[in-house]
A = this chain, B = another copy of it.
Amino acid sequence: MNNSDQYTLKLRRVAIDTYKENVAYLHRNCAIYRTEGFQALSKVEITTVNGDLAQQQRVLAVLNVVDDERITQCDELGLSEQAFAQLNVEEGHCIRIAHAEPPPSISAVHRKIAGERLDLEDFRGIARDIAAHRYSKTEMAAFLVASSQTGLEREEVLYMTRAMVECGDRLDWGEPLVADKHCIGGIPGNRTSMLIVPIIAAHGMLIPKTSSRAITSPAGTADTMALLARVQLPPEQLREIIRCQRGCLAWGGAARLAPVDDILISVERPLSLDSQGQMVASILSKKLAAGSTHLLVDIPMGPTAKVRHMGEALKLRKLFEFVGDRLGLHIEVVISNGRQPVGRGIGPVLELRDVMQVLNNDPQAPADLRQKALWLAGRVLEFDPDVRGGQGYAIARDILDSGRAMNKMHDIIEAQGRNPETVAVGRLRHKIEAQTDGFVTAIDNLQIARIARLAGAPMDKGAGVDLMKKLGDTVKRGEVLYFIHADFPSDFRFAQEAAAKDIGFQIGKKPPDGSTEPEF
C-alpha cells in the first residue's frame, strides 16, 4: 500500500537512565538513519505500529547514533529507560520513527523572547507540550530565560500557575482545611519544617507537607529526615500515613504532582535561574496539586539571602497573594530575618542534632531555631478558625514544651519506617578562629553554605559546619567561630582552603544594629 514497512523497527530497551530527557538510540548502519538523514541530537517522534490507530502510543526523544550492536542493532530502535517506560509497550514491538515537528507552542516562546505578553491559552499550550515531553532542554531554557529576562507580568504568573496545575493530578483530601508551609530557601540550617510539622499534626490539623532534597544547599529537609526514617515512599502509602498521622516528613519527588514543574526545575536549577514569577508559579502549582487550602510562605530577607531588600520582599509577597487569591488558595506571607544561618549546625547530621535538641526541650538547643519554628507554627495554627488571633504561638509552645511534638515526631518516624542506622558527625575537624576581638557583625549565608558543601554535605551526611558564634556575639581573638567537619581528606582540604580565603564572618568594634530587622 505504501512504503511504511521500510520504516519499521523493533523496539529495544536500553538500560541507560537519562533522567528528564528522553533519548533514542539508532545504529549508524540502520537503513532509516541513512535515508532519513537524521542527525545526532535531532528530535524524533517514535510511534507504535498497531492495527488500531486510536491505540497508537507516541513518545518524543533526542537521537543518539550508535556504532555498537550490543547497544542497538541495525533493525532496532533503542529507548532510554524513561522513554521506554513512557511508550509503555513490550520490547520487540514494531515502531516507526520520524522527524519530530517543533512543539506547537514554541511560537509563543518566540513571542516571549520578542518581549510580548502571553495569554492563558499560550501558557496552557506551553504547559501541555512540556508535560507531553515535547520540549527539548534547550527549548525549555529558552522559555525560562525569556520569562526571567523581561519578567512575567503578574497576570502571566497567574496563567502559568493555572496551566501547570491543569496539567497534572490534584489531590483531594476531603477536608476544609489542608495546611502547608513553605520557605523560599537560601538560609543554611533552616530546618523549621521538622519542628512545625509535628507541632501542627499534634494539634490535629492536616499538613501533608512534602520536602525536597538539597540541590544547591548543604542539606534539605528530606536529606536530614532520611537519617531518622524512610523518606522515599510510594504515593499511596504516603497518603495513608498523612491521613493517619495528620502529617509527614517525606520526599515529594515520587508523587508526580505538577509534572511540568518537575521538568522545568530540571533545567532551571542547573542554570541557577530564579525569577520571582517562575518561583511563585512553581511553588503555588505544587501546593495546589497537593490539595493545600491554606499556605504560609516564609521569605527570609538579608544581605546574603535570596531576597535582599524590603522592597523586593514586598513585591514577592504581593505576587504570592495575587496569584493565591485568584486560585482559591488562602495565603499568608511572612518576611523573616535572613541575615545569618538558623541554628548552629549546617549539614544533615549537625542539623538533625539541633532539631532533636529543640524537640527534647534540651537547654542546649539553639534558641533562634526554636523561636522561629514556634513563630511560624503559631501562624499556621491560626488558620484554624477555632484558634483566636494571636494565640497560635502560645499553643505551639505548649505542644512543644509538653513533649507532644516529640511524641508526634516518633509516630511519624514509625509510620514512615525507622532508619536503624546512626550516622556520626564527620571525624575530621578543623577550627576557624577569630583573628581579632570584637562583635560578630555579619555572617555570609552563601560562604558558610559553600564551605559546608565543600566539606561533603549533603552526600556525606556527617560533613558540614558547626557554628559557635552568631550575630551580635562578643568574640575574643583566638576563640572558635565554627568547626568544619568532614569524613574524606580531599573534601576536608577543599573546605579549609575555601575558609582560608574567606571565613564568612565579619568582626567589628560595635555590635550590629538590628533594631529595624524582623525579630525572627
Contacts and interface: CB of A to CB of B under 8 A. Distances in A.
B113 A16 contact: no
B273 A142 contact: yes
Contacts of A20: 41
Nearest to A78: B16
A213 to B, nearest CB: 9
A148 B110 CA distance: 10
Given A71-B71, A113-B148, A17 B36 contact: no
Nearest to A39: B19
A493 B266 CA distance: 39
B16 A271 contact: no
A126 to B, nearest CB: 15
Interface stretch (A133-141, A235-243, A350-358): A133-141
Nearest to A493: B2
A81 interface: yes
A57 B306 CA distance: 37
Given A65-B16, A141-B141, A41 B21 contact: yes
A37 interface: yes
Contacts of A260: none
A267 B137 CA distance: 10
Given A67-B17, A70-B70, A270 B136 contact: yes
Contacts of A146: 145, 149
A514 interface: no
B4 A490 contact: yes
Interface residues of A, number: 63
Contacts of A138: 137-138, 140-141, 267, 270-271
A447 interface: no
Nearest to A6: B488
A489 B3 contact: yes
Nearest to A19: B40
A102 B273 CA distance: 13
A145 B138 CA distance: 10
A55 interface: no
A372 interface: no
A377 to B, nearest CB: 31
Contacts of A361: none
Contacts of A136: 270
A191 B273 CA distance: 43
A194 interface: no
Nearest to A67: B15
A67 B17 CA distance: 8
A306 to B, nearest CB: 14
A37 B270 contact: no
Contact of A113 (B19, B145, B460, B493): B145
Nearest to A34: B459
A39 B102 CA distance: 28
A490 B459 contact: no
Contacts of A66: 15-17
Interface string A95-125: 0000000100010001001110000000000
Contacts of A68: 14-16
A110 to B, nearest CB: 7
A128 interface: no
Nearest to A267: B138
Interface string A251-273: 00000000000000011001111
Given A102-B272, A142-B271, A16 B25 contact: yes
B458 A37 contact: yes
Interface string A64-91: 1111101100000000110000000000
Interface string A313-340: 0000000000000000000000000000
A273 B139 CA distance: 10
A490 B270 contact: no
A490 B21 contact: no
Contacts of A273: 113, 142
A7 to B, nearest CB: 8
A31 to B, nearest CB: 13
24 contacts: A4-B490, A15-B68, A16-B25, A16-B67, A17-B40, A17-B64, A17-B65, A17-B66, A19-B40, A21-B41, A23-B64, A36-B459, A41-B266, A41-B270, A71-B71, A137-B141, A138-B140, A138-B267, A138-B271, A139-B270, A141-B145, A142-B273, A145-B145, A149-B149
Nearest 3 A/B pairs, CB to CB:
A19-B40, A15-B68, A15-B67
Given A3-B489, A17-B28, A36-B459, 17 more contacts: A4-B490, A16-B64, A16-B65, A16-B71, A18-B41, A21-B41, A23-B64, A35-B460, A70-B71, A113-B145, A137-B141, A138-B141, A138-B271, A139-B270, A139-B271, A142-B145, A142-B273
